[in-house]
Chain A
Amino acid sequence: MPKPRKEKQNHLIYADVVDSKSKAGVWMGERASFREKQGRILEALKERTDWVELSDAIMVISTEPAGLTVIVPNPTLPGVIVLSDGGSPAASAQLQAGAEEQVRAVMAELGIAEEETAA
């Protein structure tokens, strides 16, 4: 099924680049509150979901292809979770494979053996 682009009204920080306000000079009145809002959202979500705390998670961002990869230590098992979103199935798969390969390469450099998972 063809997939319409996700709608998004709240860009990282509201900075309407159509406005000449932001064309030169610094206009950061909106900046202060977004992290606090994110925190409130997460606190509210914790009330509604079963969750585990993640520590040392990183989000890798790439441009070729464009996308995000979240790499995080599995909080309960001896492994590293890799989750990629490249905006399309092919791009996501490419990012996922690339990131998993990087995890393997780092493990090899550190002398940490990979264990085959059960079939």
Chain B
Amino acid sequence: MAAPLLLWGKYFQYDRAGEAVLLDPVTLESVLLDSGEVADLAGVSPTATHEALAGLGFTQDGPAADRREALHNHLHALGFDPTPQRISGLRVVLTDRCNMACTYCFVDTNTGKPDMTEEELATGLEFLFEQNAGQEEVSIQWFGGEPTIRFDLMKYGDELADTLAARYGVARVRRTVVTNGARLTDEALDHFVQREYGVGISIDGPPGINSANRLLLGGQPADDRIRRNVGRLIAAEGLHVGCNLTPTASNIGRLAETVRWIIEDLGLKFIYVNTPIPTGGEWRVNGADLARELYEARLTALGKGGMLFSVLDRAFQALDTRRPMLFDHMQGDRSLNAALLPGNRVSVCDINFTEPSFVHTVDELRQNPGLLTVAAKKVAPIPACGDCPALAICGGPSRNEQALIGGDTPDPQMCAFYTSTVAIAVWDNTGVQ
């Protein structure tokens, strides 16, 4: 994939087979030129194409501002603010105990640290509902370790959530659980159905792929067990069941095949591909390859009657809607999903439970809501972001990425990933995405 040229100091020009797409990286406007127009554009200005482009807002006037500054102005004009206002959802980390030992897990599992207590869970849920009094919805996601190891706490928390929702006038509680699927009791299944759970099962692919990084504690694969339990979940009425797929060295290069297997063999039609987290201080996958593979895998899923979502969708949604898509970990209403941890602690980043600047006690957050600002993204933190076509789609590393990689400078593979997503999305406006 050739790097785009910079046209008139402010637009990126993607060329392919004589045609071109011009992209304004700040406003996210883009325009397709056919081969005649591309030739015309190279002529002495003003040609008909120059004039037509000017009519569409693509002008030759020099850039009014540095592109990073222009993006900040644009975000301001759109009313986008990176500062979270409240916590609207909790990922509840019940235990770090897990029956599996996956090599890439971002959670330190089986450390021997105590599980969450009923009292701590009650304190955390009370905090969540009081913060969201009168709101349409709060979300609770049971997480671990393997959360079903503490199914007793899940049941307790679900019942308490109903009471709290009524007390604080919250219309809906959205419940999900992230599980490895290796253990599923009848009681848990009935409970999930009764509470209309969304069940996300973490699977990396067919047995040969899954067992490369996802094994039971004893070192043996759990694939047969997981397949059986997925079947039971799918057969149950009223459950939303999907797959959380993590790109690893084992399935990169085989994502489309993996997706085909998940849909055809396992019977799961909804797949979410996790975004790489630089837990070891860097991205472990090739960003450009990942973008291409996600694209192919998504179309494979669509072709099989399934759906696949990933961070690649950011590029399509941003270009289609002309709206920046650069805030990580924050919902559109400026609310956060945070993580409730044992010990009455909350991490304002739901995928990092250890970074000291993210972790506060419930009381501290209650007394000082300003602590949420630590999750506010520093948009386009380095000058190189101003030269990037993914400026308003990536926006630079999240606070979590910064914490993990130890600075403002994005991992090169992250940059390659986002620039590749843009290069893919500018050429696909067919609407199936």
Contact = CB atoms under 8 A, between A and B. Distances in A.
Interface residues of B, number: 75
Interface of B: 16-19, 22, 29-35, 37, 49, 52-53, 56, 58, 89, 91, 139, 141, 174, 176-178, 198-200, 240-242, 244, 270, 272, 274-275, 295-296, 299, 302-303, 307, 309-311, 313-314, 316-317, 319-322, 325-332, 336-337, 350-351, 424, 426-433
B429 A6 contact: yes
Interface residues of A, number: 44
A19 B113 CA distance: 30
Interface string A5-35: 1111101110111111111111111010000
Given A4-B29, A68-B432, A20 B272 contact: no
A85 interface: yes
B30 A4 contact: yes
17 contacts: A2-B58, A3-B31, A4-B29, A4-B30, A5-B429, A11-B313, A11-B320, A13-B307, A18-B331, A20-B331, A20-B337, A27-B139, A27-B174, A28-B198, A68-B431, A87-B429, A90-B19
A67 B427 CA distance: 9
A9 B317 CA distance: 8
A55 interface: no
Given A87-B427, A87-B430, A17 B313 contact: yes
A4 B242 CA distance: 36
Nearest to B49: A2
B17 A90 contact: yes
Contacts, number: 180
B321 to A, nearest CB: 6
B302 A61 contact: yes
Given A17-B311, A25-B178, A27-B176, A85 B319 contact: no
A85 B430 contact: yes
A98 to B, nearest CB: 14
A88 B428 CA distance: 9
A39 interface: no
Contact of A26 (B56, B91, B200, B321): B200
Nearest to A85: B430
A3 B21 CA distance: 9
Nearest to A4: B31
Given A1-B52, A26-B244, A88 B427 contact: yes
Contacts of A89: 19, 34
B351 A24 contact: yes
A15 B274 contact: no
A19 B319 contact: no
A91 interface: yes
Contacts of B331: 16, 18-21
A106 interface: no
A29 B141 CA distance: 14
A45 interface: no
Given A18-B332, A20-B331, A61-B432, A28 B33 contact: no
Interface centre among A18, A19, A61 (most CB of B within 10 A): A18
A20 B332 contact: no
A63 B423 CA distance: 13
Interface string A73-107: 00000000000011111110010000000000000
A15 to B, nearest CB: 5
A7 B322 contact: yes
A38 B183 CA distance: 38
Nearest to B269: A31
B244 to A, nearest CB: 6
Interface in A50-84: 59, 61-63, 65-68
Contacts of A20: 328-331, 336-337, 350-351
A99 B198 CA distance: 39
Contacts of A29: 174, 198, 240
